[in-house]
Amino acid sequence: MKKILIFAVVFAITMIFSGCSAPRITNTGRSAIEQYLLAVTIERLTEHSGLDKYAGKKIYFDYTYLAPQVDKPYLQGRLEMMVSKANCEIVAKQADADVMIQPLCGVLATDNNTILFGTPQFPIPLPQTDLNIVIPEIPIFKVYDRVAYGRLSFNIFDAKTRKPLETINAIKASTSYKNWIICLIPFRTHNFDMKDTKDTDLEINVF
């Protein structure tokens, strides 16, 4: 009886400390990887926009054709950053500008595909019951590939006369993040920099 009481006390203390130390975990609507893929794709698109040739001009952006894009604010911010680096002045009214730039974003989205060699997950129904035994996936070789694609164009006009000055057509960029499993060993590869997720200080707190 005494042993059972001691065990009950130890178990209760363990449960109390376990409950106190459990972190609260939440998830955003988009995963960090998806956000990385889209952000880096936008950065690559804008870095190759060629808008620096209008250095020193007063620029008015017409964002009418970006309306359907979920990531419109970040794309706008990056475009304005690019022309600001070229010492352009961004104005709020077309009448005050030298050049009007009209960005068109035809593609800005993610896609994914999976290749699996091995045994996929499948349920085995138990006879005379509504229960299933689920056999887990056993991958010998598996690739889960997530890719973001972007396609950006520009119509550029004289802001005063709306005379076309230039069209910059079909700037393309993409990013990729792959999860691999080879002989049950997982690893990952990606074609963009993620050093900020690794170069952090390690801090250990016992209590």
Percent of the chain with pLDDT over 70: 84
- Paired tokens of 206: 């016992």
pTM: 0.78
Closest alpha carbon to 117 in 203, 184, 20: 184
Phi-psi region of 77 (alpha: psi -120 to 50; beta: other; left: phi over 0): alpha
Q: Who wins on pLDDT, 131 or 20?
A: 131
Backbone angles phi, psi at 195, to 5 degrees: -60, -30
- Paired tokens of 90: 């961004």
| pLDDT recorded at residue 124 | 81
| pLDDT recorded at residue 207 | 45
- Strand order of the β-sheet with 164-182 is 89-90, 58-61, 99-119, 138-158, 164-182, 185-190
Give how far the C-alpha of residue 132 lies from the chain's centroid of Cα atoms, to the nearest Å.
36
- Paired tokens of 187: 């690893």
By mean pLDDT, which of 18-27, 106-115, 180-189 is the weakest?
A: 18-27
Q: For residues 160 and 158, what is the distance between their CA atoms, to the nearest angstrom?
A: 6
- By 3-state DSSP, what share of the chain in percent is helix, strand and coil, each rounded to 5? 30, 40, 30
| pLDDT recorded at residue 136 | 85
Q: For residues 164 and 157, what is the distance between their CA atoms, to the nearest angstrom?
A: 4
**Cβ atoms < 10 Å from Cβ of 166:** 14
**Cβ atoms < 10 Å from Cβ of 148:** 27
- Answer whether residue 21 shows pLDDT above 90: no
- Answer whether residue 148 shows pLDDT above 90: yes
- Domains, the chain, in order of start with CATH, read 30-192 (3.30.160)
Q: For residues 105 and 156, what is the distance between their CA atoms, to the nearest angstrom?
A: 14
- Answer whether residue 205 shows pLDDT above 50: no
DSSP 105: E
